[in-house]
Amino acid sequence: MTTTALGRFLDGDVFHSFRNSPVAIVAAVVAGILILGAVLAPWISPHNPFDLKTLDLNNSLIPPAWVEQGNPAYPLGTDDQGRDVLSTILYGSRISLLVGVASVVLAMGLGIGLGLLSGYLGGRLDAFIMRVADVQLSFPAILIALLINGVARAALPRDTDIDTMALGVLIGSIALANWVQYARTVRGSTMVEKNREYVQAARVIGVSPLTIMVRHVLPNVLGPVLVIATINIATAIITEATLSFLGVGVPPTSPSLGTMINTGNNFLYSGEWWLVVFPGAALVLLCMSVNLLGDWLRDALNPKLQ
Amino acid sequence: MKHRPIRLAATLALTALAALTLGTAHGKTLRFADQGDAISMDPHSLNETLQLTFTGAVYEPLVLRDRKLAVTPGLATDWKQASPTSWQFKLRRGVTFHDGQPFTADDVVFSIGRANDPGGDMRGYVGQIKEVRKLDDYTVEMVTTVPLPILPEMLTGVYMMSRAWCEANGAAKPVDKRKGQENIASVRANGTGPYRLRAREPGVRTVLVRNQNYWDKVDGNVTEVVFTPIGNDATRVAALKSGEIDLMQPVPIQDVERLKQDPNLRIMQGPELRTIFLGMDSKRDELLFSSVKGKNPFKDKRVRQAFFQAIDIEAIRTRIMRNAATPTNLMIAPGVNGFDAALNKRLPYDVEAARKLLAEAGYPNGFEVKMNCPNDRYVNDGEICQAVAAMLARVGVKINLEAESKATYFPKVLSRNTSFYLLGWTPATYDAHNVMYNIMATPQAGQGVFNLGSYSNPKFDELTARVGSETDQARRSAMIAEAMKLHAEDFGHIPLHQQALAWGMRKNVEVVQLADNFVFFKWITIR
C-alpha cells in the first residue's frame, strides 16, 4: 500500500472510474494535448505571432501547406496580417486558457467566500448576498461581462498598459459574471453542514466561526464546486471568445481564439476558409474535452451513481 | 354576436391588403446597411460622411450638390458676393419644416450660429463667418472675417434646422460627442428634406419616410428607408445575398470579386476622394500615451519621417486593400481642386533609413506609443492599423493598438486624447483649401478642428489664409502646391492612400454613386 497522495489517488474510486470511462480518457488526452500545446507554445510553435517584428504582410493569406500555393513553413496557412495560423492558435489558446482558468479561480474564490458567509451566518447578510445573486442571475452572463468590461475600461486611468489591462478586465468581468453559481451551491451545502454534529461539536469547544468555516465546512462542500468549476472553464473560455469576437476582448495585435474566429469570419465569403475553420475547431475541441471531463467528474463524485 | 370575430378578421385583412397595395402603388422601401451607424441625428454634431449622408436626407443646406457634384440651389435660390467679405443669399419661399413651420431667414441665422458652436463639429465650415444678418424674411447676408470666394461650396455640408423647434426642444446647442452631452436632436429630427425621421434606435435601426410636402420633385421612387448598421463584414454580405437588404456599403474588398459573379447583385466601384492618413501629436511637451517621458518624440521631424519610411505602403495596397487603393504622398486625392501630380511622389519604404533616423533622433531602441484606430469607419481600417503596428515594430517602435468602434473612437480623438491615430478625410468642397484649413493648419477658432495632432507651421497657416481668399486660379494653385510641399517635407501627417468606393446592391436598385461617398436616397429607384 502506497501512502503518498498520488498513490491514494491512483488506488481510489475516482481514478478507477476514470480508467473505466473511455470518453473521459479521450477527453483528457485531447485536453492534455491542447493545454500542453498552449503552455509550451513559446518552445514548440514555429513562429511567434505576438512578436510584430516577425510579421510580414507579404506572407498574408497563404493557404494551408497541403493546398495548392501552400507553404510548408505555415502548416495551417497564414491570416490577413501574415501570422502563422498554427502558431496563433497555440498562442491564442494560452490567452483563452489563462482567461478561462484565472476567471474561474477568481469566481470560485469569490463565490465560495460569499457562499460560506451567507450560509453559515444567515440573517440579513444572507438575504442581501442572495438578493444580489438573484438580480445578477436574471441577466445573461455575457451581458454582465460586457457591462463590467465597458465600465472598467472607462474608469481605469488612461495610461494603464492596454495589453495587461485588457486581460485583467476580461478576467475580472467574466469572474464577476459567474460567481453566483458557486455562492449558491456553497451556501446550500453550508446550511446543511452547519447543523451536523461535528460542526456543533467544534462550536461547543469554542472554535472561532472563521476557523469552522474554513477548516470544517469548506472541505465538505468542495466536491460539487470542483465539478462546476471544471465545466465553467469551458464556459469562461467561450465567454472570452465571445467578448473578443465582439471586439471588446484582447487587443487585435495579440489575438485569442475568439479574435481569430472574428477575423476569419470576415473572410467566410471570399474563400479563405482556413482562417475560421482551424481556430474554430481548436475552440470546439478545447471546450468539448473540458466539458466532458467535467461531466465525468460529476458522475465520479456523485455517491448516488456509484 | 357570433359573426363579430369573423367580420373583425375580414376588416383587418382588408385593411392590411389596402395598406399593402397602397405601399406598392406609391413607392418602395429601401433597406440600406453600412458598416457603422450614423452616430447622432444632429446634423451639426459630427462632420463625418455617413452622418452627413444620413442626416442630409432629413435636413438640407442652403447650397446643394447635383449629380455631377456641381453646386446647385438648395434652400437658397440665389446668392452673390456683395463685397469681398460679404455674401447675400436669397432663400427659397414656401418651404416648410416637417412640423409645418415655414422656413425663413431666422432659421438660417440660428442654424449658422448653432453650427458654429464650439461643442459642435462644423466650425471648419462656418468658423470664418463673423456675422449672419437677416435683411428680410427671405434674404440673409453673411459677413466673413476674410474674403471667402468659396463660401457657397463650404455651406453644402451645413444643414438648416428650425429655430422654433430647436428652442422648444432644448436643442439650441449641438450634441457634443466630445463631452458626451446629448439632447433631443440626437434622436428626433425636424428638417426640410425629402425624408422625415420616423423611428430611431441608435445602433440598431433608423427609419425614414418620404416627406410628402417636399418643395422639390423627387426623381427616385423610394418612400421609406430602413437603415441598419451591420458591423460584421460577412454578416453584411450575407444580408445582401439573401435579399435582407437592398443596398450596402462598403463591400468588403475581399468579397468584391465573388459578389460580382452573383447574378442578383451589382457591385459599383469607383475612386473615392477620401485620403486615409496617420496623425501624430506634435504639440504636447509630453505624449499622453507613450513610454517616452519628459519630451515628445513626434516633435522631432526625423521621428515623423522614420514613421513614414517604415510603412510599406505597397504591401498595404496589395495585401490589405487588394489593390482597391491608391497610395498617396498628398493629403488630397486626384479630382480635388489643387491636386498636383508632380508632388505625389512618396519617399521610398526603407527600414534601414527609418532605423537610422530614429537613432539620430535619440531613439536607437525605439519607443512605445499607443495608437488609436477605428475598426468600422474606413475600408479595412482596423487591418491597416495592425499592419502599421507590425511595420513599426520592425524599426523598434512598439505600438499599443487600440482599435475600436467609431462610436467610442471619435469622441476620444476629437477631444485630442490621442498620441497617434488613423483618420480619413474627404474635402466636402472638393477643394484643397478645405483639407488645409481643417486638417493641416494650426488649430485656432474654427481652423484646424480636425488637426488632431496639432501640427503647426506658421508659413503653412499663412498660405492657407491666402488660398482661402485668392480668386486667381493660377496663383491659387501655386500657393496650394507650395503649402502641400511644405507639409509633405515636414511630415506633418503621414498620408497612406485613397481608398476605393464599393457599393453592393440588388440588381433592381439603381443608384447614383458620388465620389464623396454620399448616398442620396432621393436619387434611388427600385424597379
Q: Could you report the per-residue pLDDT of A291-300, keeping only the tens digit for each?
A: 899 888 888 8
> Which of B255, B289, B389 faces A269 most closely, judged by CB atoms?
B255
> Which of A57, A162, A271 faces B319 most closely, judged by CB atoms?
A57
Using CA coordinates, name the residue in chain B closest to A245.
B232
Our CA-based measurement puts residue A82 at a distance from the nearest CA of chain B, in whole angstroms, of: 9
* 8 A C-beta contact, residue B284 and residue B298: no
More confident residue, B300 or A17: B300
Q: Could you report the per-residue pLDDT of B335-358, keeping only the tens digit for each?
A: 899 999 999 999 999 999 999 999
DSSP codes, A130-149: HHHHHHHHTS-HHHHHHHHH
Q: Could you report the per-residue pLDDT of B84-120, keeping only the tens digit for each?
A: 999 999 999 999 999 999 999 999 999 999 999 988 8
Our CA-based measurement puts residue A20 at a distance from the nearest CA of chain B, in whole angstroms, of: 45
* 8 A C-beta contact, residue A259 and residue A92: yes
> Which of B252, B319, B401 faces A252 most closely, judged by CB atoms?
B401
**A111 falls in which pLDDT band (50, 70, 90)?**
very high
CB pair distance less than 8 Å for B238 and A269: yes
* B382 contacts in chain A (CB < 8 Å): 252
Q: Left (φ > 0), alpha (ψ -120 to 50) or beta: where does A82 sit?
A: left
ipTM: 0.81
* 8 A C-beta contact, residue B373 and residue B401: yes
* A51 contacts in chain B (CB < 8 Å): 393
Probe site for chain B from A57, A153, A274 (most B CB atoms < 10 A): A57
What is the SS3 assignment for B216? coil
Query: What residues of chain B have any CB closer than 8 angstroms to a CB in chain A?
Result: 232-234, 237-238, 241, 252, 254-255, 257-259, 288-289, 312, 315-316, 319-320, 370, 375, 382-383, 386-387, 389-394, 398-405, 417
Using CA coordinates, name the residue in chain A closest to B397.
A53
The C-alpha cell 497657416 sits at B461
Our CA-based measurement puts residue B49 at a distance from the nearest CA of chain A, in whole angstroms, of: 23
Q: Where is B83: in which H helix or E strand?
A: strand B76-83
CB pair distance less than 8 Å for A57 and B315: yes
* A247 contacts in chain B (CB < 8 Å): 375, 403-405
Q: Could you report the per-residue pLDDT of B478-508, keeping only the tens digit for each?
A: 999 999 999 999 999 999 999 999 999 999 9
- Min mean pLDDT across A228-237, A239-248, B368-377 is at A239-248
Please give the model's pTM, rounded to 2 decimal places.
Answer: 0.85
Q: Left (φ > 0), alpha (ψ -120 to 50) or beta: where does A77 sit?
A: left
Q: Could you report the per-residue pLDDT of A45-90, keeping only the tens digit for each?
A: 999 998 988 899 999 999 999 998 889 999 999 999 999 999 999 9
pLDDT at residue number B23: 43
CB pair distance less than 8 Å for A158 and B394: no
Q: Could you report the per-residue pLDDT of A184-231, keeping only the tens digit for each?
A: 999 999 999 888 999 999 989 999 989 998 888 888 888 888 888 988
pLDDT at residue number B26: 58
CB pair distance less than 8 Å for B386 and A253: yes
Using CA coordinates, name the residue in chain B closest to A50.
B390
CB pair distance less than 8 Å for A162 and B402: yes
Count CB pairs under 8 A between chains A and B.
91
Our CA-based measurement puts residue B416 at a distance from the nearest CA of chain A, in whole angstroms, of: 13
* 8 A C-beta contact, residue B115 and residue B126: yes
| Cα A195–Cα A294–Cα A27 angle in degrees, nearest 5 | 160
More confident residue, A139 or B462: B462
Probe site for chain A from B235, B248, B376, B401 (most A CB atoms < 10 A): B401
Cell of B346: 512618396
Strand pairing category for B265-280 and B493-506? antiparallel
- The candidate with the shortest Cα–Cα distance to B274, out of B72, B50, B474, B42, is B50
**Would an 8 Å CB–CB cutoff place A280 in contact with chain B?**
no
